[in-house]
Structure 1
Amino acid sequence: MKHLYFLFLFISITCFGQLEPPAELQDYYSGIDFSETGLTLKTSLSNLTINKHTNILSYGWDAIQATDQNPSNASNVLLIYGWEDGSDSDCTNDLERNINLNGGSNCDYNREHIYAKSKATPAMDNTGPGADGHHIRASDVQRNGERDNLPFADGTGNSGKVNSNTNWYPGDNWKGDVARVIMYMYIRYENQCLPTNIGVGSSASTPDDMIDLFLEWNAEDPVSSYEDNRNAYHVSENTYAQGNRNPFIDNPYLATLIWGGPVAENRWSSLGVTDKSIVNIRMHPNPTTHNLVYFTTTEKLEVVVYNLLGKKIMSHTINNSKNFIDISILSKGVYLVKLNSNEVSITKKLIIQ
């Protein structure tokens, strides 16, 4: 049933026109047809990412010292999961550390596998995927040990254990980085690195093993200059460059086109787009237990509600004077809400609890 949902979703999304990478990325993505969506686009990006990975790194310090430098201070590396400027006595919270303080002692930094090695199928060692520079990050030794191999789960604020210490929240400022790493590992190593093995969430609304947790984090936490710098390093002539990029850093919206979910930032222009404003419309509350669903919009929209089999249930027009629909006739479950504005449309998922 979920495959029917995504077929319908991606037919709607393609109305926005084909994505066009910026000039500096067009050569790298020259073989990709960005009119594709869903698992077809995923396969194309997977093949590209695998084929471009021409330099298989060893598990050493040199690569991480080159890629994890603070863009504002090359003498330091940024520490994933960190947030504090070093002014308090707890070094485990530090956001950055001197690039030469690497090792295994307290207040050193070491190498964190974002996709925990033991959660892969089969498990990774420190070669191949276990040495992939896109998912190994500098991390405080003790904070890395505290995370251990805990699966990621949602939370708020700074990094730490959640759900009675059974899961790990990477922190508000790092959750997008983590999501995009997991997406990369999935398309690069496929079934060995399933998102369902490393995160707590549901794959019910995606066409494969992606989970809603990482789609939400990808949309909520935009790409940073640190991520861009790491990505650019790996396609340069540098000694420790792998040759491939993380496409979800280049454009988080690619995840939306493949798996749906919340609309992530689109960093590229689109060809043939007639109206982009509809993509930013918010439908709330969602999930809902109420009889009314509201839409934040300044334009006139046709709202059509379908069940997961594609059967039309209701249709309404909303505008500034009436920005809601009455869903009291609907039973609990998942529905598809298609928003039409002139010749442009997008489909959102509505959950009634």
Structure 2
Amino acid sequence: MQGDRVMNTVEIAATRLHELDANLERIRSNSREYYDSARDKADVEQYYSSLHRDEEDGKALFHALTQLLTDTHKNKIPYKNSDEYLKTEVDLHDDGYLRSIYSGKEAEPHQVIEEDMNEISAADETSHLGHNVNIEHVVPQSWFDKHEPMRGDMHHLFYCEKTCNARRGNKVYVDFSDYNPDDFRTDWVHDECGKGEGGDGSSDGQFEPEYAKGMVARAMLYFILRYPKAIEQAYVKKQDVDVLLKWHKDFPPNLKYEKHRNQAIYKIQGNRNPFIDLPELADRIDFSVYKPLH
């Protein structure tokens, strides 16, 4: 049994490394393979063709987007299989490296995959083969009781070094009045991940990332639209949507990486993040629809 488990781990690693190499070769041979702005623009027009973008009723717009994101989410990837896509294609930057979502710390993807497999093999837990050991759920799993398809929805999954993943835990996102990521450090700031205070996010736990506030805000706003009834009430009450909307506006979706991710996930899952494609919609969506559902 031990030998079978080790062999299975080796096979998984070999498959993922092969997929990674193929994707890196494709990206390096043609930059448009990483992100093709013309293709993206055409896909955006097609995807939202049935949406009344000038809808003035914010509640109707919320519901219309929820329906669109749900209907087009054709391929629901289980969380245990998300590594097949995230670290081999979806989360790659255009230089071929991974970067931790909260710190921006660079990581070489071959090394990350190999370290994952070594850790899984050493854990002696056959049921966890292929399980992600350094993937951050922007909406923590405890907020929705680890249910699928939320758990494996790649629009809110990001590569994250384990230290930062643990520091965030299931804390809600906040803007600390005394924290400036550029020049502020205290004992609560760990490995340039951000600032955290308190414990559980359903009570007093709070976290402000060092990096990528706009990206994580858009990921959580997507989740709220796609799964408006999924988040447990304690977290609905604690997570301030206005903070997310502020980060979305302050840090707009201009990075090629974020657009690449959205396009790659669209290719795999079938649905898109409207806050990346049509960021101006955030001002017109009525998120008060979300809280009464709980």
- Aligning the two structures, in what range does the TM-score lie when normalised by the shorter sequence? 0.5 to 0.7
Does residue 152 in structure 1 map to residue 166 in structure 2?
no
Describe the shift of the 1:150–1:175 C-alpha distance in structure 2 as closer, same or farther (beyond 3 A). Answer: same
Which range is displaced more, 159-168 or 221-230? Answer: 159-168
Query: Which residue pairs with 1:110 in the alignment?
Result: 134
Distance, in Å, in 2 between the alignment partners of 1:130 and 1:181 is 13
Distance, in Å, in 2 between the alignment partners of 1:248 and 1:154 is 20
Query: Which residue pairs with 2:108 in the alignment?
Result: 98
Which of 47, 50, 60 is the equivalent residue of 1:40? 60
Deviation at 1:201, TM superposition (A): 5.6
For CA contacts below 8 A with separation 6 or more, give which structure has more relative contact order. Answer: 2
SS at match of 1:131: coil
SS at match of 1:40: helix
Deviation at 1:64, TM superposition (A): 0.8
State whether residues 100 and 159 of structure 2, in contact with CA within 8 Å, keep that contact through their aligned partners in structure 1: yes
State whether residues 109 and 140 of structure 1, in contact with CA within 8 Å, keep that contact through their aligned partners in structure 2: no
Distance, in Å, in 2 between the alignment partners of 1:62 and 1:215 is 31
SS at match of 2:249: helix
Q: Which residue identity does 1:170 align to in structure 2?
A: P
Which of 69, 73, 93 is the equivalent residue of 1:70? 93
Query: Which residue pairs with 1:132 in the alignment?
Result: 153
- After superposition, residues 1-353 of structure 1 pair within 5 angstroms as 22-37=41-56, 38-59=58-79, 60=81, 61-65=83-87, 66-71=89-94, 73-74=95-96, 76-83=97-104, 95-100=105-110, 101-102=112-113, 103=116, 110-120=134-144, 123-125=145-147, 127-155=148-176, 156-157=180-181, 159-164=193-198, 166-171=205-210, 173-193=211-231, 197=235, 200=238, 202=240, 211-223=241-253, 224-236=255-267, 241-259=268-286
Distance, in Å, in 2 between the alignment partners of 1:82 and 1:231 is 21
Greater share of helix:
2
Greater share of strand:
1
TM-score using structure 2 length: 0.65
Q: Deviations over 1:62-97 (max 9, x none)?
A: 1111100012x12x21210013xxxxxxxxxxx220
Describe the shift of the 1:199–1:179 C-alpha distance in structure 2 as closer, same or farther (beyond 3 A). Answer: farther
Q: Deviations over 1:201-248 (max 9, x none)?
A: 65xxxxxxxx21111111011112111001111223xxxx10100000
Unaligned runs of 5+ in 2: 1-39, 120-131, 182-191, 200-204, 288-294
- Alpha-carbon RMSD across the aligned residues, in angstroms, is 2.7
TM-score using structure 1 length: 0.54
Which range is displaced more, 191-200 or 162-171? Answer: 191-200
State whether residues 159 and 168 of structure 1, in contact with CA within 8 Å, keep that contact through their aligned partners in structure 2: no
Q: Which has the larger radius of gyration?
A: 1
Deviation at 1:149, TM superposition (A): 1.2
Unaligned runs of 5+ in 1: 1-20, 84-94, 203-210, 261-353
Aligned residues, how many? Answer: 210
Distance, in Å, in 1 between the alignment partners of 2:194 and 2:243 is 17
Q: Deviations over 1:279-313 (max 9, x none)?
A: xxxxxxxxxxxxxxxxxxxxxxxxxxxxxxxxxxx
State whether residues 103 and 194 of structure 2, in contact with CA within 8 Å, keep that contact through their aligned partners in structure 1: no
Q: Which residue identity does 1:142 align to in structure 2?
A: T
Describe the shift of the 1:109–1:78 C-alpha distance in structure 2 as closer, same or farther (beyond 3 A). Answer: farther
Q: Deviations over 1:173-214 (max 9, x none)?
A: 311111101111011111213798268565xxxxxxxx2111
Describe the shift of the 1:199–1:136 C-alpha distance in structure 2 as closer, same or farther (beyond 3 A). Answer: farther
Identity %: 28
State whether residues 151 and 199 of structure 1, in contact with CA within 8 Å, keep that contact through their aligned partners in structure 2: no
